[in-house]
Amino acid sequence: MAEPIRDVTIIGGGPAGLYSAFYAGLRGMDARLVEAREELGGKLCLFREKMIWDAGGQPPLQGETFRKQLVEQGKTFDPEVLTGTKIAAIRKNGQGLFEAEDHRGQVHLSKSIIMANGGGIVTPQKLRLQGAAVAEMDNLHYTMPSLATFTGKTVLISGGGDAAVDWAEELSGIAEKVILVHRRDNFCAHEAQVEKVKRSGADILLNVAIHRLLADKTKTRIEMVELKDTETGALTRVGADHVVVSHGYERDAELGFEADLEPLRKDGHFFEGSADAATSVPGIFAAGDCLSYAGKVNLLVGAFQDAVNAVNRAKAFVDPGAHDRGMVSSHNERFKERNRTLIRELADKVKQ
């Protein structure tokens, strides 16, 4: 079966990529969305329990709820969605089509490309301990599960950045005891958050690092954590019901471009572009964290604006006669029947 030729291939299934898929459908484009992870959502997958306050028109809601809503919206116009698929190379063929080759050697054809790959494939840094397999236990966490998990428990958090400090402060009102350990003598988190955690009642241990994890009789759960003083080398042990490791992230941003096809970069990673999402290569556009330009807004709302601009530019590239922007949803033909259905459903609910 021949590989279908799409109007646009969107690389990255985070907020910018998902909104690009939605808006491409709204503009009548046949889109393909490719995500390296098995799950859509990008960084939101790492912060499922965090509350999001700065999305327009949305009440405060948890990251996981917002992720699910974005995924549902991104699939509105039935784009081709490929998860667990890492794009390894981008080139052009003799017909002027873009070829995005994935890690399996499969080539995906399209008339344009939108890069929405953020900072690359982001994976939490794992503990580097002797006998690494021992460290994979049921109560060891690299991303935050439901906060209810920690109710009335002793939680040890390792890390000195914003995420570690934020979690220590937030869990202090949920867990029975919070122990925050950091291998240096001061935190690299924002000073306002550091002051909050100091007032929270959490036990703060500086110049201390996790040396060893000691399992219980089942060998599946951590029972004790052995800590090492980074200055004196002294070892101490503390009991913990849960251990949360927040040591930053590893990024896999490897993606090769054919000669003369790679967009200009800033700081070795970001695509140097314009406020209307263009890169230095015709037909390749960018949205979200991977795009850099003067006046860039590094928030979710900025990712959505980038996505709209990237799709509008891609639409004009694929169809030079198209309008330079899409219609508002209240006037868009693609929503008329959907709106009627929603109105009927709302009317039925009122009757009930």
- E strands present in 248-328: 249-252, 256-257, 265-266, 270-272, 284-286, 291-292
Is there a binding annotation on residue 43? yes
Cβ of 61: how many Cβ atoms within 10 Å? 13
CA dist 316 → 19, 21, 250, 282, 342 (Å): 18, 16, 36, 11, 31
For the chain, how are helix, strand and coil distributed in percent, rounded to 5?
Answer: 30, 30, 45
Distance CA 325, CA 346 (A): 31
Question: Annotation-wise, does 35 bind a ligand?
Answer: yes
- Taking phi first (over 0 means left), then psi (-120 to 50 degrees means alpha), and beta for anything else, what does residue 38 get? alpha
8-state DSSP, 116: -
d(CA 288, CA 10): 12
224-to-17, 130, 227, 328 alpha-carbon distances in Å: 42, 16, 10, 57
Residue 172, Cβ neighbours under 10 Å: how many?
A: 20
87 among annotated binding-site residues: yes
- Is residue 92 a known part of a binding site? no
Whether residue 108 contacts residue 102, with contact meaning beta carbons closer than 8 Å, is answered with yes
Residues belonging to the binding site for FAD are 35, 43, 47, 87, 289, 330
Residues belonging to the binding site are 35, 43, 47, 87, 289, 330
